[in-house]
Amino acid sequence: MATTYIYPSAFSPFTSLTSGSSHSGVLVSGTSSDVGGAIKSATTEASDAAKAARGSSLAAFICHTAYLEQSLQSEQQSGFFAGKRRLVTADRTRIGEGASFVVDRARLVDGPLAPDSKPVYVAIKTAREGSTADAEDSAERSRRWRDTLFEIRALLHQPLRYHPNVVRLLDIRWDGSGSLFPTLVVELAEFGTLHSLQRARPALPFSVKQKLCYDVGKGLSILHACGIVHGDLKHENVLVFANRYPDPPGQPYTAKLADFGGAVMDMAGDGDGQHRVPSSTFPLDAPEIHSGSRLTVEGVKKTDAYSYGMLIWRCMLDC
């Protein structure tokens, strides 16, 4: 009898079956018909949830985000901010910005301290907003809700939560943002993005480039296994951390995927050939994204593969 690991689609009801498990996927022992029935049931319910989310409202956004926040705080391993959780807002420095988020570096005051009592820094992601909620176009505001929600969904999805090549979400905060959107606290990349790393230093050795590209490939592989397409894979959405793993030896960096606001999820219930990639960067994205036609599930995943090839090309040529 074959034993297979099946990764659940992000935040489908199938996910709840694994929330207390030590495995990254669902361990299934049985016939293919047993497995197919379980997946069909889960994806059908996930489809219903996805359709409801399309009629998004502020109330639905807050309720969904609050549920995910509760999930984060109830994790046994989520004690990064033990007790009081306060960030020094006076010590914030803008380190990046994109179409949906601005990113600041901030210093922790209360919470875990480094063993040598050095300051602990984190990255603060805040959704962009118009000058006022009323003045902002409703479609644009809905897109920002979607981007923020998808970012949280991806980063709290159990198989991705502690993956070594996916950035880690540390906290969700509503206070102090002055916004309808929550603030996301994520781990701070010591070396910035892959783009900034390659621009700031002489050409990296081939073995280091190879390792960084391999890390990105591992992160992309687990995303696709979970039914998630990144949608905007590029140097600027890859964060570089100090390598803390002994194998392979002599490697200074670990690359992690970030920025999932433009991801494609909930594909199982939409019907094959009904998908589009909402966010991408020309000319690093696949040509079929701009063709106007809808894509199959495998077609959407292949757009990530195209961007991954472009990322490897840029990395090797230092451009």
Global pTM reads 0.75
pLDDT tens column, 118-162: 778 899 998 877 544 544 567 777 778 888 888 999 998 989 988
pLDDT tens for residues 176-209?
666 778 889 999 999 999 999 999 989 999 999 9
Q: What is the pLDDT of residues 38-87, one digit of tens each?
A: 333 333 434 444 444 444 555 666 666 666 666 666 654 444 554 455 56
Residue at 7 is within a domain: no
- When mean pLDDT is compared across 72-81, 116-125, 210-219, 251-260, the lowest value belongs to 72-81
41-53 residues labelled b (16+ CB within 10 A) or e (exposed): ebbeebbeebeeb
- 10 in a domain, yes or no? no
Q: Are 46 and 12 in contact (CB under 8 A)?
A: yes
- The phi and psi torsions of 119 (rounded to 5 degrees) equal -60, 145
One-character DSSP codes across 198-215: HHHSSPPPHHHHHHHHHH
Looking at the structure, tell me whether residues 112 and 201 fall in a common domain.
Answer: no
The pLDDT of residue 285 is 79
Residue 34 belongs to a domain: no
The rounded mean pLDDT for the chain is 74
Distance between CA atoms of residues 286 and 311, nearest Å: 12
CATH number of the domain residue 264 falls in: 1.10.510.10
Contact predicate 240/192, CB 8 Å: yes
Please say which residue of 187, 222, 237 terminates a domain: 187
| Among candidate residues 212, 209, 261, 255, the one with its CA nearest the CA of residue 232 | 261
> How many domains, the chain?
2
Residue 20 has pLDDT above 90, yes or no: no
The reply to whether 124 and 173 lie within a common domain is yes
